[in-house]
Chain A
């Protein structure tokens, strides 16, 4: 049981390049989330998927797109990377049924855009 896995762990991009961050969970959770974490800003929600087949914008969606490929996988795409997108990106999942409050986080992807 690996929990939430993210690839890659590190990435350096040039301005204007594109890339996809991958996230997978093996806990049969319904809900999945993408956050970015910047110094002094805490975790900010980019997009979430309450269940397979649905996605919704969070607090800071501009410049990003997401795909809920199946119940296990939720990817985040940067179409044209900008230096402002330099951050640590975390994927999280949650059972999403009943009274469930705990989110399980992946190890993060450290992205630098030059």
Chain B
């Protein structure tokens, strides 16, 4: 079993839709949870992070962690074509950052 599992998609939604991206993880030692966005042929960029159970909001993006069920979510409101990218979830303990395989999202105009 991979430490971080993620539905690879692809996921296609119309512009303006609410998008829900999800990950599950198995390692209870994870301290921080992060979402990275990766545009085609580019390096990943940090989108959001959280270190405790609950929600964290930043503009149109909300990150949610439920440590009891080992579940990580990212919600995107009012999705835009510029949100089309691959979204990677990751957890870390110490210097180890474990990434999910990524979900490819397409937001159609």
Name B's interface SS: strand
Stretch at the interface among A13-21, A35-43, A67-75: A35-43
Instruction: Note all chain B residues with C-beta closer than 8 A to A45.
Output: 96-98
Name A's interface SS: strand
A42, B92: Cβ atoms closer than 8 Å = no
Cα-based distance from A90 to B41 in the complex (angstroms): 11
Please provide the chain A residues from 66 to 114 with a CB less than 8 Å away from any CB of chain B in the complex: 90, 92, 101-103, 105-108
Please provide the chain B residues from 77 to 109 with a CB less than 8 Å away from any CB of chain A in the complex: 88, 90, 92, 95-102
Cα-based distance from A48 to B90 in the complex (angstroms): 16
B45, A105: Cβ atoms closer than 8 Å = yes
Interface residue ranges, B against A (CB under 8 Å): 4, 6, 8, 32, 34, 41-46, 49, 51, 88, 90, 92, 95-102
Interface residue ranges, A against B (CB under 8 Å): 4, 31, 33, 35, 40-45, 48, 50, 56, 58, 90, 92, 101-103, 105-108
